[in-house]
Amino acid sequence: MGAKAKKALKKNMKKISASAASSSQQLAVPQNPKPSADFLPLEGGPARKAPVTKPLENKATVLYIGRIPHGFYEAEIEAFFQQFGSVKRVRVARNKKTGKSKHFGFIQFEEPEVAAIVAGAMHDYLLLEHMLQVHVIPPEHVKPNLWKGFKSQYKPVDWVQIERKQHNKERTLEEHRKMLQKVVKRDQKRRKRIEAAGIEYECPELVGNTQPVPKKIKFSEED
């Protein structure tokens, strides 16, 4: 190879190395890159990052249970829902006078994760021809008196005993006559309905004194 050819080859090698260095400088990443902005203000100004929000921690452990069927009370609810996890307490809303269920109640679990699973699995669950309505109650909506009286035992009212006492109580003569007058009025209305229907029927006669109670006579000292 001659001297001219060698000089030309050296010049070409220098050009190739210079072009490679310039391209590498263009592709190089800066040492302190600026953070990418999430949004730009509408009125202009520097770009800003969106605030970092932490996910809310689930602390709800209380569930509302609606459309509870007849016979599915505190003991049955606790035994049924224990298959999901440990139950802390159960309360069924009841009538204060009769003690009968109002067909809705509340249940509390030990773990909030269990409560979330139960709400998702048991909502619209068909139980004894009733579609259960199960919802999670946020902790801020749980009232202090929600569990008031949840351990109390409700006894059904014995209406037969109440009616028996009412029927067998001692009455005065005036009360007996008023009661007999009501019976006679009902009997007369029944007779009119039978006659209006065109039915020939001889109703038995009621025996009793329907006369008003005589007034007490006051005697003067001269008599």
Helix (DSSP H) and strand (DSSP E) numbers for the chain: 5, 6
Strand (E) or helix (H) holding 106: strand 101-109
- Whether the model clears a pTM of 0.75, i.e. scores above it, the answer is no
pLDDT > 60? residue 26:
no
Q: What is the spatial distance between Cα 47 and Cα 165, in angstroms, rounded to a whole number?
A: 85
Among 6-15, 73-82, 194-203, 210-219, the least confident range? 210-219
Average of per-residue pLDDT across 67-88: 94
Q: What is the pLDDT of residues 137-147, one digit of tens each?
A: 999 999 888 88
Most confident of 73-77, 197-201, 203-207: 73-77
* 78 in Cβ contact with 109 (< 8 Å): no
pLDDT at residue number 6: 66
Instruction: Report the 10 Å Cβ neighbour count for 64.
Output: 15
Q: Which whole-number Å values give the CA distances from 45 to 36, 38, 39, 42, 64, in the listed order?
A: 15, 14, 11, 8, 50
Can you identify the CATH homologous superfamily of domain 62-147?
RRM (RNA recognition motif) domain (3.30.70.330)
pLDDT number for residue 201: 85
Q: Where are the domains of the chain?
A: 62-147, 171-203
The residues that bridge with 108 in the sheet, in sequence order, are: 62, 89
